[in-house]
Amino acid sequence: MSEHHNHPVRPKSPQQLRAEALEAVLIERGLVSTDAVDAVVEAFQSEIGPQNGARMVARAWVDPEYRERMLTDGVAAASDFGFVGAEGEHLRVVENTPQVHNAIVCTLCSCYPWPVLGIPPVWYKSAPYRARIVREPRTVLAEFGLELPEDVEIRVWDSSAEMRYLVLPMRPEGSEGMSEQELAGLVNRDCMIGVAVPRVEVPA
Amino acid sequence: MDGAHDLGGRQGFGPVVPEPDEPPFHEPWEGRVHGLSSAAALGPGFRYAIERMGYVEYLTTSYYEHWMHSMELRGIEHGHFTRADLDGWVRRIEAGEPVPVRTDPAAAADVRDYLRKSSARSYDGPPARYAAGDPVRVIRVLPAGHTRCPGYLRGAAGVVEQAHAPQPLLDTYENENGRVAPEPWYTVAFAAADLWADGGPHTVLVDLWQSHLEDPA
């Protein structure tokens, strides 16, 4: 540690102080343990994230039977991969088609399908997204760079009760012949929230 | 509650600002707060505690500050600790004292299960009043306290898109200290043009419990 000895110590932010005080009180009262908190942090930093949902989407693109099951029973389709747990008890997968584009939101809070998408991004939890996506989705999607044809119906799903939603995007042009693993690499978090669509980068 | 949290359709917020390559937690304390919330049973009322923050504080603080506020308030209201306990620890930590460490492998295993195993279960409840395709109207007078019925739907006409088996009405759960009152619930489709004068031709689909709905006039 001696090589760090002369570095100035960064003062703790008010938020960090409050969080540490809360943890200290809860530990003192026996209401929580350090290793339990560590376990949650590790889980969201490693295995619980949008890479999980991407694997389901890629499977649905190559396996029509899986796709069918995913659309009728999202929990069963997620369970195939072991993607179950808190905030995934009720999961519905909604499919984009040439006629319909889906987007998800939670206007009252920030409900989100943790086992398949992990922690929601700050913009998803922010007031502008929660306020606007239900009222002016076409404008919001355009701000994300997603311009949809006028004749596409937009469906916005407000997760206000027990159901959590995942968007199944359309398989992009140019992905023919790709392996399931390569296909999963085309699917990012935003595609499964519905503010983006997967694209195959065309070499210039 | 008609609070700052009930944001659907509100105007004046400006653009959505995405952050490239956003990490799960921006600061280590955010991860600690998420972990504390998952691991510590402080009693019901997580959401209602956030909803009572007040507009200015709610809109100018981050998601994990909301969670922290909820845990502090519920811990105090359910008698687990006092504001003085929290303030005392802030001073001790400012003075250089470390956060105490306590290990409990069984509790750590429990929270792993919470994140990786389904806790879904079925409930008995009153019979379903509606089926897919039925026209419904959202009640005009919403429940006091916490409600899962967004304010932008007050009195709105919609059509049931899907009916679901009973689950505890979370309005009751939060407002009545964890009382379990299962009810059928529904995914209801609303034409945006029926909700807002400038609503586009899109559809908004919202999950509502039976108590939030009535027969159309």
Is there a catalytic annotation at residue A191?
Answer: no
Inter-chain CB proximity A131 and B65 less than 8 Å: no
A76 vs B: CB within 8 A: no
Inter-chain CB proximity B115 and A136 less than 8 Å: no
Inter-chain CB proximity A43 and B148 less than 8 Å: no
- Structure-derived torsion over alpha carbons of residues B37, B40, B41, B45, reported in degrees to the nearest 10: -30
Is residue B200 within 8 Å of A138, Cβ to Cβ?
Answer: yes
| pLDDT at res. A2 | 45
| pLDDT at res. B168 | 97
Q: In chain A, pLDDT over 70 holds for what percent of residues?
A: 95
Is residue A148 within 8 Å of A197, Cβ to Cβ?
Answer: no
| pLDDT at res. A6 | 55
Residue A75 pLDDT greater than 80, yes or no:
yes
Inter-chain CB proximity A33 and B102 less than 8 Å: yes
Determine the topology of domain A50-193 in CATH: Nitrile Hydratase; Chain A (3.90.330)
| pLDDT at res. A1 | 43
A69 vs B: CB within 8 A: no
DSSP class per residue in chain A:
-GGGTTSPPPPPPHHHHHHHHHHHHHHHTTS--HHHHHHHHHHHHTTSSHHHHHHHHHHHHH-HHHHHHHHH-HHHHHHTTT--STT-SSEEEEE--SSEEEEEE-SSS----HHHH-SPPHHHHSHHHHHHTTT-HHHHHHHTT-PPPTTSEEEEEE--SS-EEEEEPPPPTT-TT--HHHHHTT--HHHHHTSS---PPPP-
Inter-chain CB proximity B207 and A159 less than 8 Å: yes
Whole-structure pTM value: 0.96
> What class has domain B135-214?
mainly beta
- Structure-derived torsion over alpha carbons of residues A32, A37, A38, A44, reported in degrees to the nearest 10: 160
- Residue A198, judged by CB atoms within 10 A of its CB (0-12, 13-18, 19+), counts as buried
What letter represents residue A84's amino acid? V
| pLDDT at res. B217 | 79
Could you read off the pLDDT of A11-35 as tens digits, one per residue?
A: 899 999 999 999 999 999 999 999 9
Band the pLDDT of A201: cuts 50, 70, 90. Answer: confident
| pLDDT at res. A4 | 52
Can you tell me the mean pLDDT for A134-140?
A: 97
Q: What CA–CA distances, in Å, run from B182 to A37, A48, B111, B173?
A: 31, 30, 25, 10
CB atoms within 10 A of CB A124: 24
Q: Which residues of A fall within a CB distance of 8 Å from B36?
A: 19, 22-23, 26, 32, 37
| pLDDT at res. A48 | 97
Q: What CA–CA distances, in Å, run from B127 to B143, B170, B181, B212?
A: 21, 18, 13, 15
Chain-centroid distance of CA A97 in Å reads: 20
Rounded Cα distance, A187 and B38, in Å? 28
- Residue A43, judged by CB atoms within 10 A of its CB (0-12, 13-18, 19+), counts as buried
Mean pLDDT, chain A, whole residue set: 95
List of chain B residues with pLDDT < 70: none
Residue A3 pLDDT greater than 60, yes or no:
no
Q: Which of A33, A109, A126, A160 is catalytic?
A: A109
What letter represents residue B45's amino acid? G
Is there a catalytic annotation at residue A106?
Answer: yes
Domain positions in chain B? 28-116, 135-214
Residues of chain A with CATH 3.90.330.10: 50-193
Q: Which two tokens stand for residue A178?
A: 């790709």
Residue A43 pLDDT greater than 70, yes or no:
yes
Inter-chain CB proximity A160 and B32 less than 8 Å: no
**Which residue do the tokens 């339990």 mark?**
A36
Could you say which residues from 108 to 147 on chain A have a Cβ atom under 8 Å away from some Cβ of chain B?
108-110, 114-115, 118-119, 121-123, 125-132, 134-138, 140, 143-144
ipTM tops 0.95: yes
Q: Which residues of A fall within a CB distance of 8 Å from B198?
A: 135-136
Q: Which two tokens stand for residue B29?
A: 């304390």
Q: Which of A2, A13, A79, A110 is catalytic?
A: A110
Rounded Cα distance, A46 and A48, in Å? 6
Q: Could you tell me which of B211, B9, B205, B139 has the C-alpha nearest to residue A158? A: B205
User: Nearest chain B Cα to A20, which residue?
Assistant: B99
Band the pLDDT of A195: cuts 50, 70, 90. Answer: very high
Could you read off the pLDDT of B37-74 as tens digits, one per residue?
A: 999 999 999 999 999 999 999 999 999 999 999 999 99
Q: Which residues of B fall within a CB distance of 8 Å from A128?
A: 13-17
Inter-chain CB proximity B101 and A34 less than 8 Å: yes
Considering only CB atoms, B103 lies closest to which of A33, A40, A127, namely A33
Inter-chain CB proximity B207 and A158 less than 8 Å: yes
Residue A5 pLDDT greater than 60, yes or no:
no
Q: In chain A, pLDDT over 90 holds for what percent of residues?
A: 93
CATH 1.10.472.20 for the B28-116 domain, yes or no: yes
Considering only CB atoms, B13 lies closest to which of A28, A44, A128, namely A128
* Vertex A22 angle, CA B40 and B120, to 5°: 20
